[in-house]
Chain A
Amino acid sequence: MQKTRVFHVNGMHCSACVILIESELKEIAEVGHVKASLSHLSVEVSGDFGDKSAEHIARDLSEILKPHGYSLTPERQKYLPRWHEFKIALPVAGVFIVIFLALQKIGILDFVQASEVNYSTAFVIGLVASISTCMAVVGGLVLSISANFAKEGDRVKPQILFHVGRLISFFILGGAIGLAGSVFQFGSLGVFILSLIVGLVMLILGLNLLDVFPRIKKFQPVMPSFIAKRTHGLKNLNHTLTPFLIGAATFFLPCGFTQSMQIYTLTTGSFLTGALNMFIFALGTFPALALLSFSSFSIHNKSKSGVFFKTVGLIVIFFGVFNLLNSLVAIALIPPIFNF
């Protein structure tokens, strides 16, 4: 007997998920027709399941979707913001932010004493850059992206690909700058727009991590479905190419240190010197950034993960606001706020 049932899908967040869920469920012998909907976070399944109860079917189907991080329930699960998690998340995020501000205040930049750039100073400059105000841009982005992937259950691969993408792009683009002897730089307006976008993306990702407003998930930056539809390994692509490309794009993020290194690199006049120079600089930024991107490893207990994501969410929101305010200051729209 054919029967159509509607289930609520937990963990569906992107248009690629729709295709993945549909293709997985179609594989099951009992299932005739499947239609998943992202806007309703539901899936419509027609098929002959005998006299199994809705709960039973949901459990069976969830078993198949589990490896992908989805589960089905007959009814929409009641949404729980779990406000009590802020009790720990807020002070922890506060400590992190105060440490960040204090680092800027005590003048970590004085560690860079060199006036000439060579490979070892490039590394030291990278180390300092990664804990300087650049951390608000690059570090904030790393933290928000890796936490969002970790939230979907993918803790290792996207993070590694992000760093691989970053190191490769610094090597290749560094070489290109060295060879060409000119550097691609954004003007005031370009920097402003870029900072604005980075700030807004961080705000959205940060709010998403707080897990307080369920609706905001729809604004998450993901691969457009028309690309996702044309390729196999749907979720895989989103978790492979996206972090790699974002990592590669960090070369262009507005960060004073990256810019000075790029300007120095263009004076080298050689592909290899330029490439190594930027690569070693990126390598210097790696320890701090790796610490941020693999911070999700600290979740040992599933029930504590909410606290972790709320903490990261608050930090990312702070960085987002920090970047937005700074970008408004930079175009002299508002008076300076931070006095480092």
Chain B
Amino acid sequence: MKATIISILISVLLIGGAIWLINGQGTDGEGEASNTSIVGGKQIIEIKAKGGYSPRVTYAKSGMPTLLKMKTQGTFDCSSSLVIPSLNYRTNLQPSGETEIEIPSQKAGIVMKGLCSMGMYNFQIRFD
């Protein structure tokens, strides 16, 4: 009986740890918003792609044409295989460099999602 209790305890602890690992510390880069700039009436968003996307959440202005710059540096993982479902966009980013994606003017309140093609990495652009 003792073994069963210990086993259950360890399992609960591990499951808790796993959930913490999955969801914890998901705030890196959030709110910094330094990755957006406006140049000549055009909004420019920079997102790094390597082992996931950073920043995870970007706050952008609605109602203006936007250029999304995806930056890669030795990126060979899934994040190089980018999908933006709402734009019907799908590409393979080059291992190192910059890929520019034109985003038409978005309405306020829209949350645009980008994913890697296998689904384990993602980022959001919130327009408001």
Contact = CB atoms under 8 A, between A and B. Distances in A.
B42 interface: no
Interface string A75-113: 000000000001110110011011001101101111011
A260 B11 contact: no
B58 interface: no
B110 interface: no
Contact of B17 (A98, A134, A329): A98
Interface in B1-18: 3-4, 7, 10-11, 14-15, 17-18
B119 A264 contact: no
B117 A256 contact: yes
B63 interface: no
Q: How large is the interface on B (under 10, 10 to 19, 20 to 34, 35 or more residues)?
A: 35 or more
A256 B78 CA distance: 4
A285 interface: no
Given A91-B11, A332-B85, A338-B120, A257 B51 contact: no
Contacts, number: 134
A195 B119 CA distance: 10
Interface residue tally of chain A, by bracket? Answer: 35 or more
Interface in A118-154: 125, 128-129, 132-134, 137
A53 interface: no
Given A101-B22, A133-B78, A260 B95 contact: yes
A330 B119 contact: yes
A191 B113 CA distance: 19
A328 interface: yes
- The dominant DSSP class at the A interface is helix
Interface of B: 3-4, 7, 10-11, 14-15, 17-18, 21-23, 25-26, 50-52, 56, 73-81, 83, 85, 90, 92, 95-96, 113, 115-122
20 contacts: A87-B3, A91-B14, A94-B11, A98-B17, A98-B21, A101-B18, A102-B21, A105-B21, A112-B76, A115-B74, A125-B76, A128-B77, A129-B76, A256-B118, A257-B78, A259-B80, A326-B118, A327-B118, A332-B85, A337-B22
